[in-house]
Amino acid sequence: MQKRQLGRSNLHIAPLVLGGNVFGWTTDQHASFAVLDAYAAAGGNCIDTADGYSIWVPGNKGGESETIIGEWMKRRGNRDKIIVATKVGWELSPTRKGLSRAYIIASAEGSLARLQTDYIDLYQSHRDDPDTAPDETLEAYDRLVRAGKVRVIGASNFSAARLEASLESSRAHGYPRYESLQPLYNLYDRAGYETELEPLCIRENVGVITYSSLASGFLSGKYRSANDLAQSTRGAGVGKKYLNARGLRILAALEETAQPLRTTLATVAIAWLIHRPGITAAIASATTPRQLDDLIAATTLPFGPADAERLNQASNPTPEHAT
């Protein structure tokens, strides 16, 4: 896969980033290793995880995904070939959350230990902490960067106002700046990113790495009826949000685009993302190497302007919204 520069940093990442949220959740270590091996063999070089993955699973404490990734890199001896992107700040317990100086420093040490490495390539604020000033958060990251424990920092789930305030803090104090943003963004969920965050990221040259790139699987075409929804634990949430007239219109446009290209809806949905202006990469997860094949295919799909326009129009959030 051809690599893309992340913001103004010296990191160059593949346009398809492998999501590690399923490791230790729906895939055990053996299955996770198979997916990781297939991703690396295809030329992928960036894995996204978090200290909170997968705390929602009964019996888990958080960090299970990092532990699996760390063990995989140790056994394969490929740490220098992998860009590890992890996160801090999600609530793990009432006392383990936020972006305070002390919490970031302590959490980084935990992630480093689980990943079995002495540096994190991309360390991201998982969600904004309105109770902590950007100066304090960025000063903590500055300490980690100066110590060689973090190479580059990024943000996730930030509003445009808070991202802009953080960038200004970095300029004012000489702190490392957020070189990437990880927003919810896909063919269905467009307005939240495109309205304010997209112009800010393009203006400031902040790389954008999208999450929920397939809208919880909806854009793969697997959910088209109430019966489909009933077959999945995600079904209720997916149906409530996506299974409506606009969602079905998007699936129809994906189908129309995929058929002549002899590919899948998921491949086209990812291709649309990685061809969008300002998008560095799309995160997508897979539980088997076969699922991964469709995602990797998006990086070489002959996706043209007419394909993009068809999907832009079908997924237009409102009649007034620019595409």
Q: Among all residues, which ones are annotated catalytic?
A: 53
Residues facing residue 16 across a β-bridge: 282
DSSP string, 152-170: EEEEES--HHHHHHHHHHH
Rg, the chain, Cα only? 19
**Residues 70, 67: Cα–Cα separation, whole Å:** 5
Instruction: Decide: helix, strand or coil at residue 41.
Output: helix
Three-state SS for 13? strand
Q: What is the DSSP letter of 132?
A: S
Side chain identity at residue 26, one-letter code: T
164 contact partners, CB below 8 Å, separation of at least 6: 200
CA dihedral sign, ordered 226, 257, 212, 168: negative
CA 112 from centroid of its chain's CA atoms: 20
Residue tagged 């446009």 (tokens) = 253
Cβ atoms within 10 Å of 288's Cβ, excluding its own: 12
Beta bridge partners of 180: 207
Closest CA to 140 of 107, 168, 113: 107
Cα gap 159→130, rounded to integer Å: 11
Q: Are strands 4-5 and 12-13 parallel, antiparallel or unpaired?
A: antiparallel
Closest CA to 219 of 245, 181, 253: 253
How many beta carbons lie within 10 A of that of residue 28, not counting itself?
Answer: 11
Match 């007419």 to its residue by tokens.
Answer: 306
